[in-house]
Amino acid sequence: MRHISDEYEQFLLDFLGQDPGKPDAARILKLQEEVGEVTEAFLSFKGWMWRKENGTSAWDVCMELADVAMTAMLAMAVIGYGPDQMMQAQMEKTLKRMAEMGSESGQDHGDDPAQ
């Protein structure tokens, strides 16, 4: 698995150091705000904003998604876990669940002689 660079991890720690007084809960709650910004950008990108101007680009939506990811990584760092560690654990959990779903739906026939 490719890991987040040491430079980026240092950026996260430096960023946290610039605002040491913010409570941990604020970093978690900030995620909700950032997800709202993604939603608004996506609605604008699709042309589904009926009270506001549409026209956000795909780039803008992806930048908002990156902001969500960065905010989540900052929250992980505040809680005491590195983003690499958590992303690896979550990917392994998701892959295991996908494999289980595949075998339950009959997609993974394995050594079943009837297939």
71/14: higher pLDDT = 71
* Per-residue model confidence as pLDDT tens digits over 53-106: 888 999 999 999 999 998 898 888 888 888 888 888 999 999 999 999 988 876
In a domain, 108, yes or no: no
In a domain, 3, yes or no: no
CA distance 54 to 56: 6
Look up residue 16 and give its amino acid: L
CA distance 53 to 88: 39
Look at residue 76 in the predicted model and tell me its pLDDT.
87
CA nearest to 67, candidates 87, 45, 110, 37:
37
* Per-residue model confidence as pLDDT tens digits over 15-68: 777 766 677 788 788 899 999 999 999 999 999 988 888 889 999 999 999 999
CA distance 47 to 7: 38
Look up residue 115 and give its amino acid: Q
In a domain, 109, yes or no: no
Look at residue 32 in the predicted model and tell me its pLDDT.
92
In a domain, 15, yes or no: no
In a domain, 33, yes or no: yes
59/107: higher pLDDT = 59
In a domain, 74, yes or no: yes
Tell me the whole-structure pTM to 2 decimals: 0.71
The count of structural domains within the chain is 1
Count CB atoms within 10 A of the CB of residue 41: 22
Q: What is the mean pLDDT of residues 104-112?
A: 61
112/104: higher pLDDT = 104
In a domain, 65, yes or no: yes
CA nearest to 56, candidates 33, 38, 68, 71:
38
In a domain, 37, yes or no: yes
Angle between helices 6-18 and 58-79 (to 10 degrees): 80
Which range of residues forms the domain containing residue 40? 21-102
